[in-house]
C-alpha cells in the first residue's frame, strides 16, 4: 500500500492542472461564442418572409382539411340515407 503522504502531492498537482485546464477551456469557449450575437443579428430580417410563407402554407393546409372534412361529412350523410337496392335486401336462394 502506498502511504497517503506520497500520493497527496500527485493529487494536489493533478487537481491544480485540471482546474487550470477547466478555466482555460471556459475562457476559450467564451471567446468562441462571443461574436455570435453580432453575426445572428443580420439573419433576423430574413426570418420574417419565411415565417409569412409558413403561415400561408399552414392556412392552405387548414383550408384543405376543412374541405376534406366537409366532403367526408357529406359522403357519410349520403351513405346513411341511401337504402340498399331491392335485390340486395332479398336473401339469395341457391339451388342444391
- For the chain, the domains span 1-33, 47-79
Q: To the nearest 10°, report the CA torsion of 17, 23, 24, 27.
A: 180
Rg over CA atoms, the chain:
38
Cα–Cα dist 14/20, whole Å: 10
Note the pTM of the prediction, 2 decimals: 0.38
Is the predicted pLDDT of residue 25 greater than 60, yes or no? Answer: yes
Q: What is the mean pLDDT of the chain?
A: 80
Is the predicted pLDDT of residue 77 greater than 90, yes or no? Answer: no
The pLDDT value recorded for residue 48 is 83
The pLDDT value recorded for residue 83 is 59
Amino acid at each position: 500500500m502506498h502511504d497517503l503522504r506520497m500520493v497527496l502531492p500527485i493529487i494536489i498537482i493533478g487537481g491544480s492542472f485540471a482546474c487550470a485546464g477547466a478555466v482555460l477551456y471556459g475562457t476559450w469557449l467564451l471567446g468562441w461564442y462571443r461574436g455570435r450575437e453580432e453575426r445572428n443579428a443580420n439573419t433576423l430580417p430574413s426570418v420574417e418572409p419565411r415565417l409569412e410563407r409558413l403561415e400561408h402554407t399552414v392556412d392552405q393546409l387548414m383550408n384543405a382539411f376543412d374541405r376534406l372534412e366537409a366532403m367526408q361529412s357529406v359522403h357519410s350523410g349520403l351513405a346513411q340515407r341511401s337504402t340498399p337496392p331491392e335485390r340486395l335486401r332479398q336473401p339469395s336462394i341457391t339451388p342444391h
